[in-house]
Structure 1
Amino acid sequence: MKTRIVLFAKMPVPGAVKTRLIPVLGPEGAARLARRLLATALREAVASGLPVELCGDPDARLWGPTSLGLTLSAQGDGDLGARLTRAAERTIARGEAVLLVGADCPALDAARLKAAAAALDRYDAVIHPAEDGGYALLGLRRTDPSLFDRIPWSSPEVGPETCARIGALGWSLNVRDTLRDVDEPGDLAMLPRPLLPAVEH
């Protein structure tokens, strides 16, 4: 079964992205960091050799030209759960498994992406938990609306609740290593050196 990476991202516009970092970096600095993180995420996704779809808010087809050979799509309306549901359902309906990822986790490199895709040959779902209680990656070879409905997004319950719902569906789950997102000022200290110029001001 072929696996597709669907990378969720907001267009890196000052004031609209990385808002929890604006008190430290300012709107422009936060947007620069978001652009660096997105570029890193896309580079690693492409390097994995898997098909890659950039699912943007707004529609990634409106962002401008890209030379990476990506599929571009729109997240659409609704909360994050509704957006993830649509992306998962349309990918799986095409006969592909899906890796749902964001652009906030530099540790989610090509090797981890390939390993997560390989795990979907043996499991119904795969997850890379995040240190903040969410997840950096959710991989699925089947889907169900209950996975994303009424999840308390941006809370420490996201990952545990998602795992519990996968268990309630009777699906097999591969839990991989816990990674760290870059969302809060305290996360900046763990940024890889190539990303550090984006946070200098």
Structure 2
Amino acid sequence: MDPNRENLSTLLLIFALTALGTLGWLVGLFLFWLFLRILGGAPDFFSLTESFSTAVTAAAVLSAGFIAYRELNEGSYSRYIEVADRLFEELNSEDNINARRWIYQNLPDDPQTGLKKIGEEGRTTIKKVLNSLDRVAFLTQKNWIPEKMIMPWMSPMVIKTWVKLEPYVNYESERRGEPEYYRLARDLAKRCQTWQKSNHPESLNVHWLDDAL
């Protein structure tokens, strides 16, 4: 079917439905006015029409506002789910899980001596995890997604990782003379620690196991 003809048919249908609706509304008002007139209390027909039309218009505006509010909420919730899904994929990808496991098991506590021992592979692994935390921090900026949707499952792994990485980030920041070095990752760790302290203070202490899954 020709798209132009299809669009024209749609417009004509909308116009016809609008006209029928208006006509039906006027006929209904007229019948109601006749009923009131029979009872002996009929106001002027045009005044009645104006009053009822104003009331219906107000109700329509309120209904439209409510529908728009619900659609906005549903749209926000869908966006939150999308962001949460991206976070989950980022933090739980096989590469990132393996990188964090390497850090838990192999990264020395002292960064000054640790950087000399871990080699290029270790440095690459540290950068990979820090870049991942930076990305997570960007996706969870304030007011982008409610913390209650992500913090319960995200904060434990961020806190655990940061226990190992914080000394290295601080050491490298001071050594380079760059106070903003991985600032987003630092802020993310602080937010996770604050949330965990308020909601699950007992889990702030990290327990390390050599044979953990």
TM-score (norm 1): 0.24
Which one has the bigger strand percentage? Answer: 1
TM-score (norm 2): 0.24
Which one has the bigger helix percentage? Answer: 2
Larger Rg: 2
